[in-house]
Amino acid sequence: MTSPSGTRTGSIGSRPDWLGRLAIPVALASIVAVVALLVLRSTGSGASLETELEGEFAGAYPAEPVGGGQLVEIELVAAPTTIKIIDDQPTDVWAYNATVPGPALRGVLGDTVRITVRNDLPASTTIHWHGIRVPNDMDGVPDINQARIEPGDTFVYEFTPPDAGTFWYHSHTNGSEQLERGLYGSIVIDDPASPNLDIYTQDVVWVIDDWLLTDEAQLDPDFNTASDRTHNGRWGNVITVNATLGETLEAQPGERVRLRMVNASNGRAYTLDFGDLEANLIAFDGLTVGEVSDAEGLVLAPGNRADVDITMPTTPGLYTVNDVFAGTPQPLAAIAVEGDTAEASPLEPTTNDGVPDWTAAAEAPIDDELVFETSQRDGEWVWTINGEVFGEHTPIEVTEGEFTKIKLINQTHPMHPIHLHGQFFKVLSRNGEPVDEPFFRDTVLLNTLDEVEIGMVPLDVGNWVLHCHIQEHAEAGMMTVMTVAPTTT
Ligand code: C2O
Ligand code: CU
């Protein structure tokens, strides 16, 4: 292993009235659906459809880590430090090993990682390995997977990543403050068997974050405000890549570069605009895509990762990558293309044939429905899932190896990037329209009043949280647990 911006958008709202009037037809339709289902079940085709969907999934990613590699030992110390974001002005942050992002961890598929975390912060903490399918007690969620690491204490995380790709690690305790202060880093796992390893002369991680800074370049000390909670979380006035304003990568004309982009922001989403660069999406949320597509216009919600393959233009110049999520372009970073022309490898990036098509999943019954809403508890706004806040939640129960279809319903105006630990899923439909994304995700963005159906075959047994990745929403209740029970057969 080795431009100030920042409008806070959206507001808490509820489902518009007209949906109430659809109640009777919906009730009738569901009776028809239930009858149809019973018919399907009795003829056995319902079960065979699920068997078929599970068959399509088989081999998409491994059930167990392969192992057999080295034991890599790492020490991470979480502590206050200062970094420089705006010119030479020091900004007080919290960081792993005194850098933001924390050390860029990199390993090889098969390696076992043992990470000793020492907490030198004035607060308790934990670390979550976002996107890595770790053993359940290594997943980093306080009260669900482990006890908080108290100031002065250490905790040892150990796991063997089963998948290659771009992942990230971050505090999973009081994230609205701890992520905002800088407690995050990237973790990349390479597959030594992948021919893709050889086709890039540069392989670069860009961790994107926004900071809400005062005129003195200090973090605004009011974390998790009522306004942050009721809007789309804390949006900053400065956007950085690898904690650098105006990060610039140098590349040669014709050079082939792999860029791994991570959204580590508390609440801000980015819509990627590559301008004159041709960027191809080769992996999403870690895993290799089933089919390469154009990355232009891709939305990177909090938690998401996108790996893009860019062959640099032959014309030297400064090429900017912008965010256009809120309409007006905001520069994220740039690529300075200069020097001698490079010989780029002509190989096509490999893809994962195992990514299921799952178009037939449109006919599969919905196993669980999760309704994301808002309400008040003792005069405070909270975010609920099926009417419950985290702590009073009813776990979603699913079974290892069984195709599961879940409908996510946003009954509010703010957005919710919904993240599931321990599993990958595929988006099946959005607002009734089939979606054909040739890749898995671990985080999907629900925009205003969106209804999104996802499909998955859980492989990892245990209690995994599902939550909004807007830190302030998760802390105001929008989190539940998916319990994956071992298969009984
Ligand atoms: Cu990246 Cu539960 O989070
Ligand atoms: Cu949310």
Could you tell me which residues come within 8 angstroms of residue 141 by beta carbon, excluding any fewer than 6 positions away?
126, 128, 172, 421, 465
**Dist. CA 9 → ligand 1 center (Å):** 22
Q: Which atom of ligand 1 is nearest to the CA of 170?
A: 1
Mean pLDDT of 124-132: 98
Instruction: Give, as one character, the DSSP assignment of residue 422.
Output: S
Q: Which atom of ligand 1 is nearest to the CA of 467?
A: 2
pLDDT (0 to 100) of residue 7 = 33
Structure tokens at 21: 């009037």
Supply the residue whose CA is at minimum distance from atom 3 of ligand 1: 130
> Pick from 311, 249, 304, 247: which is nearest to 272 by CA?
304
- According to DSSP, the β-strands at 462-468 and 396-399 are unpaired
Question: Of the bound ligands, which one is closest to the alpha carbon of residue 303?
Answer: 1
pLDDT digits (tens, 9 = 90+) for 141-152: 999 999 999 999
Centre a 10 Å sphere on the Cβ of residue 429 and count the other Cβ atoms it contains: 18
pLDDT (0 to 100) of residue 344 = 84
**Dist. CA 290 → ligand 1 center (Å):** 24
Res. 489 pLDDT band, cuts 50 70 90: low
Residues 397 and 480: their CA atoms lie apart, in Å, by 11
**Dist. CA 442 → ligand 1 center (Å):** 9
**Dist. CA 157 → ligand 1 center (Å):** 16
Residues 276 and 88: their CA atoms lie apart, in Å, by 32
| Total length of the chain | 489
H/E run at residue 482: strand 479-485
pLDDT (0 to 100) of residue 197 = 87
- According to DSSP, the β-strands at 317-323 and 380-385 are unpaired
Instruction: With H, G, I as helix, E, B as strand and everything else as coil, classify residue 230.
Output: helix
**Dist. CA 304 → ligand 1 center (Å):** 10
Residue 441 φ/ψ, nearest 5 degrees: -140, 165
For the chain, the domains span 7-15+67-190, 202-337, 359-485
Least confident piece of the model among 9-23, 93-107, 188-202, 268-282: 9-23
Supply the residue whose CA is at minimum distance from atom 1 of ligand 1: 130
Please provide the DSSP assignment of 109-159 as one string: TT-EEEEEEEE-SSS-B-EEEET----GGGS--BTTTB--B-TT-EEEEEE
Axis-axis angle for helices 23-43, 45-57 (nearest 10) = 90
pLDDT (0 to 100) of residue 38 = 40
**Dist. CA 414 → ligand 2 center (Å):** 7
pLDDT (0 to 100) of residue 46 = 59
Residues 281 and 300: their CA atoms lie apart, in Å, by 12
Q: Which atom of ligand 1 is nearest to the CA of 130?
A: 1
pLDDT digits (tens, 9 = 90+) for 371-393: 999 999 999 999 999 999 999 99
Instruction: With H, G, I as helix, E, B as strand and everything else as coil, classify residue 178.
Output: helix
User: Which residues does ligand 1 sit against, CB inside 6 Å?
Assistant: 128, 130, 170, 172, 303, 419, 421, 465, 467, 469
Residues 438 and 355: their CA atoms lie apart, in Å, by 7
**Dist. CA 329 → ligand 2 center (Å):** 24
Question: Of the bound ligands, which one is closest to the alpha carbon of residue 232?
Answer: 2
Res. 19 pLDDT band, cuts 50 70 90: very low
CATH superfamily of 202-337: Cupredoxins -  blue copper proteins (2.60.40.420)
Residue 23 φ/ψ, nearest 5 degrees: -55, -45
Structure tokens at 16: 């518009």
Tokens 């973090």 correspond to 219
Task: Compute, in degrees rounded to 10, the torsion defined by CA atoms 176, 333, 74, 158.
Answer: 60
pLDDT digits (tens, 9 = 90+) for 151-191: 999 999 999 999 999 999 999 999 999 999 999 999 999 99
Residues 88 and 355: their CA atoms lie apart, in Å, by 47
Residues 447 and 478: their CA atoms lie apart, in Å, by 15
**Dist. CA 471 → ligand 2 center (Å):** 8
Q: Which atom of ligand 1 is nearest to the CA of 443?
A: 1
Structure tokens at 58: 């088989």
Per-residue pLDDT at 27 exceeds 80: no
Mean pLDDT of 458-466: 98
Question: Of the bound ligands, which one is closest to the alpha carbon of residue 421?
Answer: 1
Q: Which atom of ligand 1 is nearest to the CA of 131?
A: 1
**Dist. CA 303 → ligand 1 center (Å):** 7
Does domain 359-485 match CATH 2.60.40.420? Answer: yes
Residues 164 and 194: their CA atoms lie apart, in Å, by 10
**Dist. CA 210 → ligand 1 center (Å):** 17
Counting residues of the chain whose pLDDT is more than 70, the rounded percentage is 90
Structure tokens at 199: 């086709």
pLDDT (0 to 100) of residue 33 = 46
Question: Of the bound ligands, which one is closest to the alpha carbon of residue 140?
Answer: 1
pLDDT (0 to 100) of residue 71 = 97
Question: Of the bound ligands, which one is closest to the alpha carbon of residue 443?
Answer: 1
Mean pLDDT of 469-477: 98
Structure tokens at 196: 């893709």
Could you tell me which residues come within 8 angstroms of residue 421 by beta carbon, excluding any fewer than 6 positions away?
128, 139, 141, 442, 464, 465, 466, 482
Q: Which atom of ligand 1 is nearest to the CA of 302?
A: 1
**Dist. CA 288 → ligand 2 center (Å):** 27
Q: Specify the CATH number of the domain 7-15+67-190.
A: 2.60.40.420
Q: Which atom of ligand 1 is nearest to the CA of 303?
A: 1
- With vertex at residue 178, the alpha carbon angle to CA 228 and CA 472, rounded to the nearest 5 degrees, is 25
Instruction: With H, G, I as helix, E, B as strand and everything else as coil, classify residue 449.
Output: coil
Instruction: State the pTM of this model.
Output: 0.90
Fold match flag (7-15+67-190 vs 359-485):
yes
Counting residues of the chain whose pLDDT is more than 90, the rounded percentage is 87
Mean pLDDT of 130-149: 98
Q: Which atom of ligand 1 is nearest to the CA of 421?
A: 2
Per-residue pLDDT at 234 exceeds 80: yes
**Cis preceding linkage at 329, omega within 30:** no
Residues 464 and 482: their CA atoms lie apart, in Å, by 5
Residues 109 and 70: their CA atoms lie apart, in Å, by 10
Per-residue pLDDT at 463 exceeds 70: yes
pLDDT digits (tens, 9 = 90+) for 349-375: 999 999 999 999 999 999 999 999 999
Question: Of the bound ligands, which one is closest to the alpha carbon of residue 465?
Answer: 1
Residues 456 and 420: their CA atoms lie apart, in Å, by 11
Q: How far is CA 127 from CA 154, 359, 442, 489, in A?
A: 12, 36, 17, 34
The answer to whether residues 123 and 448 touch, using CB atoms and an 8 Å cutoff, is no
- According to DSSP, the β-strands at 426-430 and 433-434 are antiparallel
